[in-house]
Amino acid sequence: MNKKIPFSPPDIGEAEINAVVEVLKSGWITTGPKCTEFENKVAEYCNSDKALAVNSNSAGLELVLKEFNIKAGDEVITTPYTYTATASAAIRRGIKPKLVDIEKNSFLIDLEKLADAITPKTKAIYTVDVAGVPIDYDAIRKILKDKNREDIIFVSDSAHSFGAKYKGKMVGSQADFHVFSFHAVKNFTTAEGGAITFNENDKFGKKDLYKDFKLESLHGQSKDALSKMQAGAWKYDIVTDGGKCNLTDIAAAIGLAQFPRYEEMLKKRKAIFDLYTKFLSEKDWAIIPFTKDAIRETSYHLYLLRIKDFSEDQRNEVIKSLAAKDIATNVHYTPLPMFTLYKNLGYDIKDYPNAYNHYANEISVPVYSLLKLEDAEYVVKELISAVEKVMK
């Protein structure tokens, strides 16, 4: 009988359950004191001045564009090798993002091509920490400085990299804005949710970005719901055309309960990475994913294995073979130009050969903190068997 191995279930224990029950019994379940406590904890963890909790990474990415009035006619540069949220944030603002291919031997955006892509219309750059691997933030800074374009807003889509390190520090304060995801499949979860982290340095002429972001996330309303509910405090103003993307205290409570366990959860994920690499490094066909170098360490979110000289169809056969044994795998990512929305906007995957080549032979192997090492060993042995069967 096959072992049933899911791809990425959430690591939820009694601490999270009790924290939610406490909030449910408190009489206040939406944005309130737990959310503020959670924001402070996220900022502390990321070594940033501020954190704004939002209901998703997607909302956070768009919120930055809204706050700085980046709109149709402006240019936003990003990568085709990402989930749609990175690019669709710009599309919803009436902007067709400029996509820059990834490096030949990396899942990350090609920095030389990025530098060449900057024009007088460029207002923002959205890089992506694919699989939890930080982009070289200082290299991006240098590009902007060398081009005398430090007015460009540098946003890191850090959906995967909560807990990753750059030059010895936690990711979260290196770009102008980092936007994290705490979705159920991420290392660290609030069920749904995310956060924007940033430093209050008045760089873009904003005196109180946290206050501005808070307004934008609550319909431009001058008081949040908790403040309005105090006796006699019903009156409020609407000061901007904001949206609605605040995090709830229920979700924040889950996140607060995750923090004491998170370092141990990361260690478990690293152990799984190490085990996979131990077995796969013996195989000439395995292109082992990045984990750590002199300046960066991944958050061990996704194990993005590439299979040398494999076609897309061969990769798909491996996925089917493993699925028949109840082992769930995935692909990260189908490049954006391969989707209907992006084709209709005029993108063509032929313009992004590196993105396609990475996609065609990539398979994401299960990594999660609840996965036992003995089960991880079972997975990697079955994976090796499936790959070599297709090779025959």
SS3 127: strand
* CB count in 10 Å sphere of residue 104: 10
DSSP state of 283: -
Residues 6+ apart with CB under 8 A from 181: 56, 57, 159, 160, 162, 193, 194
Range 106-129 burial, b when 16+ CB lie within 10 A, else e: bbbbbbeebbebbeeebbbbbbbb
292 burial class (0-12, 13-18, 19+ CB within 10 angstroms)? middle
Closest CA to 193 of 162, 221, 166: 162
DSSP state of 93: T
Written as six digits, the tokens of 191 are 């069920």
Our answer to whether residue 186 is catalytic in this structure is: yes
Choose, from 50, 98, 123, 186, the residue flagged as catalytic: 186
Q: What is the dihedral of CA 200, 201, 205, 206, to 10 degrees?
A: 10
Q: Where are the extended beta strands (E) located within the chain?
A: 50-54, 75-78, 98-99, 122-128, 153-157, 165-166, 169-170, 177-181, 194-198, 286-287, 296-297, 303-307, 362-365
Taking phi over 0 as left and psi of -120 to 50 as alpha, with beta for the rest, 5 belongs to beta
* CB count in 10 Å sphere of residue 207: 8
| Count of H-run helices and E-run strands, the chain | 13, 13
Residues 6+ apart with CB under 8 A from 328: 5, 6, 7, 322, 366
SS3 365: strand
DSSP state of 177: E
CB 310 within 8 A of CB 327: no
Catalytic residue numbers? 186
